[in-house]
Amino acid sequence: MSGHGLFLLLDLVGTFVFAISGAVAAKQRNLDLFGVISVAFVVACGGGIVRDVCIGAVPPAGLSNWRYLAASVVAALITIAAYPKVRQLRHPVLFFDAIGLGLFAVAGAQKALAYGHNSEVAVLLGVVTAVGGGTLRDVLLARVPVVLQREIYASAALLGATIQVVIEQLHLSQPWTPWAATLVCVGLRLMSLRFHWHLPTFAGDPARKTECDR
């Protein structure tokens, strides 16, 4: 299999696992069939759609390439049909979700560079590609996005996208560079899960205790 074919395969794997995470969340909220499929699609493709709109790549690939929609619908239907089993998949889902995170961060940054935009745009939109779908999922479910609250997640995407962009801008990119950047992101994410690493939340701040939080 060529490198490009492998990348497309893993991109679809990322889409698929992101869609499963969306379908599980939608099902927990008792949404209807259309709601489950919609949230699965939004999680899988929402970040990429926002990226494409921001770089002028219209219509967004998430809308125009049937593979993404198909992967999302299949993931949603499997989730519905095999819900008790999918629920037991917590660790495999987290594992594939980490792979999706890394792939989307690096691929998103690459696409922005390919459209001729600068490093900052590429890094920011790499992160948006990776975490945008999950953020939209939480907005649709009327809760504060998980990505803002806990764990090394967006920061792992930021690291992966930054590595890719820096190496490309220095003209040092090799065919294996995107894989290495993806691996760093995935590795950081998985290690943070394994060892319970968190970003600081300043919870010890004495001022916070008296905060009126609306």
| Two structure tokens written together for 198 | 């968190």
Residue (1 or 142) nearer to its own copies, CB: 142
Write down the least CB distance from residue 84 to its own copies, Å.
5
Report the alpha-carbon distance of residue 135 to residue 140 in Å, rounded.
9
Write down the least CB distance from residue 71 to its own copies, Å.
13
Chain centroid, CA 12 distance in Å: 12
Residue (6 or 53) nearer to its own copies, CB: 53
Residue (32 or 171) nearer to its own copies, CB: 32
Write down the least CB distance from residue 152 to its own copies, Å.
9
Write down the least CB distance from residue 135 to its own copies, Å.
8
Residue (6 or 148) nearer to its own copies, CB: 148
Residue (34 or 176) nearer to its own copies, CB: 34
Q: 3-state class of 97 per DSSP? A: helix
Complete DSSP assignment for 62-89: HHH-HHHHHHHHHHHHHHHHTHHHHHTT
Chain centroid, CA 1 distance in Å: 25
Interface residue list for its own copies (CB under 8 A)? 26-35, 38-39, 49, 53-56, 58-60, 63-66, 69, 80, 83-84, 87, 112, 117-118, 120-121, 124-125, 135, 139-145, 147-150, 154-155, 158, 198-203, 205, 207-208, 211-214
Report the alpha-carbon distance of residue 31 to residue 34 in Å, rounded.
8
How many helices (H) does the chain have, and how many strands (E)? 10, 0
